[in-house]
Amino acid sequence: ALPGVNASRGFPNEAGQPLPYARVQIDPATGKTRDQVQAELLAGDPAISVATVGDDALFVNPMTLDGAEREIVLARLLAVLGG
């Protein structure tokens, strides 16, 4: 767990389909805004594109990721968020 970061898994997805999603809520007290984290993920190598939800959260769709790619996304999120 990272202070100021709350990750959750939910159903259904944003289209109302019975598919999972991950929501990563970022408290600005972490020193980074949601938009900064999104930009750092996209600017990295490999570039990781995530959607935004509300004012302070990222939306990660795991449906197109295989096991290795999920680990890459997790590692990058942890690196960007200082974990």
DSSP-derived 3-state class of residue 79: helix
Q: What is the predicted pLDDT for the residue at 62?
A: 85
pLDDT at 83: 64
pLDDT > 80? residue 1: no
Domain boundaries, the chain: 5-81
Per DSSP bridges, beta strands 5-10 and 21-26 are antiparallel
Q: How far apart are CA 63 and CA 19, in angstroms?
A: 8
pLDDT for the residue 42: 98
The mean pLDDT of the chain is 90
Q: What local confidence, expressed as pLDDT, does residue 82 receive?
A: 86
Q: Which residues pair with 22 in a beta bridge?
A: 9, 60
Least confident of 16-20, 45-49, 66-70: 16-20
Mean pLDDT of 15-43: 91
